Amino acid sequence: MNKTEAKARIEELRKQTEYYAGKYYDEDKPEISDFEYDMLMVELRNLEKKYPEFQSKDSLTQKVGGHVKEGFQKVTHEVPLQSLQDVFSFGEVEEFAQRIQKQAEENNIKEVKYVVETKIDGLSAALEYKNGKFVRGATRGNGLVGEDVTENLKTVKTIPMEIKDKIDITVRGEVFISKKDFEKMNQEREENEEELFANARNAAAGSLRQLDSKITAKRPLDIYIFNVQKVEGKEFNSHFEELEYLASLGFNVNPVRIPCKDIKEAEKAIQKIGEDREKLTFGIDGAVVKVDDLKFREILGSTIKVPRWAVAYKYPPEKKQTIVKDIICQVGRTGVITPMAILEPVKVAGSTISKTTLHNEDFIKEKDIRIGDTVVIQKAGDVIPEIVEVVKKKRTGEEKSFEMPKVCPVCGAQAVREEGESAVRCTGIECPAKLFRNLVHFVSREAMNIDGLGESIIQQLLARNLIKNIADIYTLKFEDIASLKKNGKKFAQNLVDAIERSKQNDLYRLITALGIRRVGVKASKLLARKYKTIDNLMNASFDELSRLDDIGPIVANSIREFCLEDQTIDLINRLKESGVNTKSLEEESTDNRFEGKTFVLTGSLEEFTRGEASEIIEKFGGKTSSTVSKKTSYVLAGEEAGSKLTKAQNLGITIISEAEFKEMIK
């Protein structure tokens, strides 16, 4: 490689690393694996070393990645929160030790001891205490300036709000999510059809950097402290001594901290951590080797980015080959059908892998995975096993292609993939796999509004086989409900009354409760107003539905497919038999004074809720929208109206007060 080529490659690598670092640090959405990113950094560092004339302070080899997120206050760190120099072999560890030994000899230091710790895979944070009380916490940011996340850190149960000594101290730790909690979080997100977290580190970072601390409080964050940044009135000789002191104060200190008398012992400690990493309850992305003597550390000093007295040994990702014995499908609680590879059991990173998710049919096609293929398995983030590639040269011709099922493997209802989505879904409303979620939605406030029939009660009813489908709600007996709670007679009577009241609901509530894909409350009201009875809706044609305002062909297709399902027809018949109303109760209005008009509601109203105001507008033939545009006819502005009011003013849209609205509806 000549100088011109080297310069071009360096510039290319800087752009790539900046982009991937932004995705990792700022957006918490990595696009490549840690190992792939590390290899790009190694190549960049080596090229800059070979061609020093092209070095730049703007290169990520010279600075810490990460920026302050908009919405957070900035915090300038009194002591910088530096990064660590990565090494990938024991040869590089030896080179590090040789540099340290040379400095030791020059300064007449006879022995060099080390401490080896796990490199926790999380987000670094500084905790500041005044007179023993926690006063401020900040993320690392770019090492010099971070984000004030004090309120969020207060929700982390393992951070003491007050320590045992009334001293001024700033400590550094790593906020993380345990392997078990991470798996549980992703399972819940999958069930709720939310995007999965790529790894535990990004889950922790995204949770800590929430602008609303209530969201952070719901996340299972933990922290391990691993360093004293600054302390008043205390002096320590060694890093290990510091850690023991921190533990005595009540801090949750990194549990893996191994004192080593020399570099050989340090290498053994690295190896031991690597062997035991699968047993750890938290994820790691390496082991850190630190010089123990704090005064010697001061002599060794630091670069702008990293200390010269420590390195991070990065374990290579372990990959193994195995065979795809079969591909089966699982149905989630929302009806998403997920393909799963059944593998010839293989041990990877300390655990035996016998199956792994294949996500969706696009993933299978992209990697061209077939039943019988030899594949390469890797554990992503030390937690999730995944297929990284197919070994196509080992194909025999007997491998079988896989197609997603056309019907649900659990209930036999139609399985559909809608335009613009990667997921295939079961459309059956009585599918056992979806039953819990369907029940929760059916009884919810915006649907049938059965007060008292919450998630925990539904779980108990299912566990006792008291209900096996939605219609069974209306056959529940008083004594069955009373048996769920100690002295449960009053509760049972209230719930029986609530179930009975729900039979008289308007048709739009029943349509909402059915949970038709893409049909919410607004569309349900439109359909109830148009068709008057559930039978008319069940018999509506695709062409007729698709011509309705705010419906269109995609929603019309969802409605039609849902209505044609045998399970839907069976449920409607059973609900009718139980006395559930299936007709619109809304009196037909001949007053269409708001026909062709679109209202946007903003701020708080005194005499109406937003729902009540919307119903009045719709009763008079108008429409409501959540966004202001040139097509908006009126903006109804209450107290403390926000950005929607400003936008309406800028667009010249008519703004009306609550009093003016009352005049319009007289």
Tens of pLDDT, residues 171-197: 999 999 998 898 888 878 777 667 777
Q: What single-letter amino acid sits at 589?
A: S
Beta-strand runs (E) in 358-441: 374-380, 384-390, 415-416, 424-426
Q: Which helix (H) or strand (E) holds 125?
A: strand 123-130
Reduced to 3 states, what is the DSSP secondary structure of residue 112?
Answer: coil
Q: What single-letter amino acid sits at 505?
A: N
Taking residues 520-536, report their average pLDDT.
92
Query: Is the Cβ–Cβ distance between 471 and 456 less than 8 Å?
Result: no
> Shortest CA distance to 358 belongs to which of 404, 319, 420?
404
Confidence band for 379, pLDDT divided at 50, 70 and 90: confident
pLDDT tens digit sequence for 341-361: 999 998 876 667 899 989 899
Q: How does DSSP assign 184-216, residue by residue?
A: HHHHHHHHTTPPPPSSHHHHHHHHHT-SSHHHH
Confidence band for 130, pLDDT divided at 50, 70 and 90: very high
Q: How does DSSP assign 307-346, residue by residue?
A: BTTEEEEPPPPPEEEEEEEEEEEEE-TTSEEEEEEEEEEE
Q: Which residues, 6+ apart, have CB-to-CB distance to 21 below 8 Å? A: 37, 60, 65, 66
Per-residue pLDDT, 383? 56
Q: In this model, does residue 63 exceed pLDDT 80? A: no
> Shortest CA distance to 449 belongs to which of 516, 517, 495?
495
Per-residue pLDDT, 67? 58
Per-residue pLDDT, 19? 83
Distances (CA, A) of 23 to 17, 75, 183, 311: 10, 22, 22, 24
Query: Is the Cβ–Cβ distance between 94 and 176 less than 8 Å?
Result: no
Rounded CA gap, 557 and 425, in Å?
14
Taking residues 508-521, report their average pLDDT.
92
pLDDT tens digit sequence for 470-511: 999 999 999 999 998 888 899 999 999 999 999 999 999 999
Residues above pLDDT 70, as percent of the chain:
95
Confidence band for 203, pLDDT divided at 50, 70 and 90: confident
Rounded CA gap, 136 and 99, in Å?
37
Confidence band for 469, pLDDT divided at 50, 70 and 90: very high
Per-residue pLDDT, 197? 79
Confidence band for 153, pLDDT divided at 50, 70 and 90: very high
Q: Pull the structure tokens for residue 570.
A: 């069976």
Query: Is the Cβ–Cβ distance between 448 and 513 less than 8 Å?
Result: yes
Q: Pull the structure tokens for residue 74.
A: 């900035």
Per-residue pLDDT, 393? 95
Per-residue pLDDT, 300? 95
Q: In this model, does residue 382 exceed pLDDT 60? A: no
pLDDT higher at 352 or 250 = 250
> Shortest CA distance to 287 belongs to which of 141, 158, 96?
96
Query: Is the Cβ–Cβ distance between 100 and 300 less than 8 Å?
Result: yes
Per-residue pLDDT, 272? 94
Rounded CA gap, 284 and 118, in Å?
6
Global confidence as pTM: 0.57
Query: Is the Cβ–Cβ distance between 113 and 261 less than 8 Å?
Result: yes
Rounded CA gap, 478 and 455, in Å?
19
Q: Name the burial class of residue 539, with classes exposed (0-12), middle (13-18) and buried (19+) by CB atoms within 10 angstroms of its CB.
A: exposed
Domains contained in the chain, CATH given: 3-54 (1.10.287.610), 74-313 (3.30.470.30), 319-394 (2.40.50.140), 427-586 (1.10.150.20), 598-664 (3.40.50.10190)
Confidence band for 202, pLDDT divided at 50, 70 and 90: confident
Confidence band for 64, pLDDT divided at 50, 70 and 90: low
Q: Residue with structure tokens 């009380």?
A: 133
Confidence band for 68, pLDDT divided at 50, 70 and 90: low
Least confident segment among 57-71, 326-340, 564-578 = 57-71
Least confident segment among 36-50, 505-519, 560-574, 645-659 = 36-50
Q: Which residues, 6+ apart, have CB-to-CB distance to 543 below 8 Å? A: none
Query: Is the Cβ–Cβ distance between 375 and 391 less than 8 Å?
Result: yes
Any idea how long the chain is?
A: 666
Q: What single-letter amino acid sits at 531?
A: Y
Taking residues 226-236, report their average pLDDT.
93
Would you give the distance in Å from CA 211 to the centre of its chain? 15
> Shortest CA distance to 488 belongs to which of 461, 462, 463, 528?
461
Per-residue pLDDT, 8? 87
Q: In this model, does residue 318 exceed pLDDT 80? A: no
Choose, from 3, 50, 119, 530, the residue flagged as catalytic: 119
Confidence band for 214, pLDDT divided at 50, 70 and 90: confident
Active-site annotation holds for 630? no
pLDDT tens digit sequence for 261-307: 999 999 999 999 988 888 899 988 899 999 999 999 999 999 888 99
Q: In this model, does residue 380 exceed pLDDT 70? A: no
pLDDT higher at 49 or 333 = 49
